Amino acid sequence: MRAARRRMPAALAGVISATLLAGVLSGCVGPAPARTTAGATAGTRTAAASPSPSPAATVDLVEAYARQRLANLTLRQKAASLFMLHLPGTDPAALRGYVDRYGVGGMILMGDNIPSTPAELAAQTAAMTASDPGLPPLIAVDEEGGDVTRLGWDDQPGADTLRDQDPAATRAAFARRATLLKQAGISVNFGTVADVTADPNSFIADRVLGTEPGGASARVAASVAGERGTVLSTLKHFPGHGESEADSHHAVPATAVGKDEWSARDAPPFRAGISAGAELVMFGHLAYTQVDAAPASLSAAWHRILTDDLGFRGASITDDLRMLQDTGLPQYQDAGANAVQAIAAGNTMVLDVLPAGSDPDALIDAVVAAVQQGRIPLAQLDAAALKLLELRRSVATEE
């Protein structure tokens, strides 16, 4: 369990002067923070030798740090910070150079990034975060276990085994998995599949933690509890792939299931994971046409449902936007336009495993232009960038 985030009485708030902020920006912020309520990106710290202050009269050091960093970012740097990208290979210097050159907020490790030993991977991720240790990029991986296992030394069971066992087994497996990830320098696991289906023909069938809402909810909550305090947990693929057999890696699956049916069948595992404290939710590329004809990853309606109906206040991220291009559908062939639409819909972060030879600058340029033209409000960009800065800072102070 992480130490609680230190807060100061209002009487002391005025002493957060340029000297203190300089200390914050250099990483001298004291004890590591802990996550608190569901969907929160960071918790609260309790002053060691101060009387309990009024809850409304406090200053949060991680938030103060994030706001100061945000104030010093250019528009382009803010836009870049909303991207999680990928560079093939295991060369630490090349990976570090990529992070430094583009200023991205995160990097995803795919199979081509995983060396043969945990020590080599730890050295690789250390290089990726070395340029700004006070504000490292988020380093993510899909480590579900079972069919989707990136780390060759992860010997914990996946959903195909866990869904037939007590939820305690899921918690234990994900706790051990989270430890392996943290030891390797990975801060985010895209590992909790909150989809639910009893259809053996569904492409997601082997990866779900339950074939009915109750069992899936219990194990989703258990997986988040197992990762809690070690890595950031992600629920995927909202609003739920279980209603379609189609594979969103090659098409945009569509279902005519309405919101009431979704609320009863697909929402419970996501609600359970949010209540357990998951920090991120990943949006899938599937369309519930009774709610919105667009894929959920590009749908403002589904982002409102996640916030208003399920109470999620954490960070949302798209599934890999390259998957939309891989459908071959003409409306998704412009990577920059996809990124703009995803951010405008409400995603905090955009995940894109770009094809070899692609230019990340073009993605960033597209978002900058959209803000300048008013298609993405500057206030929305700032809010997303701030949320990610807080997440990244909380990771740094918990090391």
Residues with active-site annotation: 249, 319
Q: Which residue in the block uniquely carries the two structure tokens 């985030």? A: 5
Q: Write b or e for each residue in 184-197: b if 16 or more Cβ atoms lie within 10 A of its Cβ, otherwise e.
A: bbbbbbbbbbbbbb
Q: Write b or e for each residue in 326-345: b if 16 or more Cβ atoms lie within 10 A of its Cβ, otherwise e.
A: bbeeeebeebbebbbbbbbb
Which value, to the nearest 10 degrees, does the dihedral of the CA atoms of residues 2, 12, 384, 136 take? Answer: -50
Q: Which tokens sit at 33?
A: 């923070």
Q: 125 forms bridges with which residues in the sheet? A: none
Strands of 106-109's sheet, edge to edge? 315-318, 280-283, 232-238, 188-193, 138-141, 106-109, 83-85, 350-351
Using CA atoms, how far apart are residues 8 and 34, in angstroms rounded to an integer? 16
Using CA atoms, how far apart are residues 93 and 82, in angstroms rounded to an integer? 23
Q: Residue 91 carries which DSSP code?
A: -
